[in-house]
Amino acid sequence: MKLILGVSGSIGAYKAVDIMRLFQKNNHSVTVVMTWAATQIVPPLTFSAFAPGKVFHDMFSKNQDSLLHINLCNENDLLLVAPATANIIGKMANGIADDLLSTLLCAFYKRVVVAPAMNVHMLENKAVMENIVRLQSRGIDIIEPAEGLLANRESGKGRLPTADVIYRHCIDTAGV
């Protein structure tokens, strides 16, 4: 399987490297598309060390394919957004395309899996909950956030599940 790993700016972004490596270990091709906020948590170089030439974070990088968002859609089978912040979920639910990842999400016409990761209070916000329901009604697969200790030392639902849980979900539900 060829997939795009969309990484948004949750503190859980550090786990995205493990997710990428697990897919690669199991012979899947991974391209990484990061939001600006994600690049502030995990530098693109971290991903590039394991996926040279397959890490993107800017819609208009010099010498970059001007149709990258379309060509990536055609070349990949799955778009996995892990972690997915309230921001990227809101953009997806409302068709906002103002950066490379959100533009790619608007153009992607194959299977999309989203793993929300945020503070429990953000996750329980009515707008966020409505956006998640809206995505599910459109056939987007949502992986339930894990419960446990959160970045702000509160406990609750909102943690990014482990790489293994995310991998198994993507593989098991794809019939691969």
86 with 125: CB under 8 angstroms?
yes
Secondary structure of residue 27 in the 3-state scheme: coil
Whether residue 150 is predicted with pLDDT greater than 50 in this model: the reply is yes
What integer pLDDT is reported at residue 70 of this predicted model?
Answer: 84
Chain segment 68-97, per-residue pLDDT in tens: 788 899 999 999 999 999 999 999 999 999
Question: What span, in angstroms and rounded, lies between the C-alpha atoms of 126 and 16?
Answer: 27
How high is the mean pLDDT of the chain? 93
Chain segment 2-30, per-residue pLDDT in tens: 999 999 999 999 999 999 999 999 999 99
Secondary structure of residue 82 in the 3-state scheme: strand
What integer pLDDT is reported at residue 175 of this predicted model?
Answer: 53
Question: Mean pLDDT over residues 93-109, rounded?
Answer: 96
Lowest mean pLDDT, pick from 10-19, 60-69, 121-130, 152-161: 60-69
Q: How far is CA 156 from its chain centroid?
A: 21
Say what the pTM is: 0.94
What integer pLDDT is reported at residue 112 of this predicted model?
Answer: 97
Chain segment 23-52, per-residue pLDDT in tens: 999 999 999 999 999 999 999 999 999 998
pLDDT band at 176 (very low <50, low <70, confident <90, very high): very low
Whether residue 138 is predicted with pLDDT greater than 60 in this model: the reply is yes
Can you give the residue range of the structural domain that contains 126? Answer: 2-172
Structural domain total, the chain: 1
Question: What span, in angstroms and rounded, lies between the C-alpha atoms of 87 and 170?
Answer: 22
CATH of the domain at 161: 3.40.50.1950
Residue 24 neighbours by CB distance under 10 Å: 13
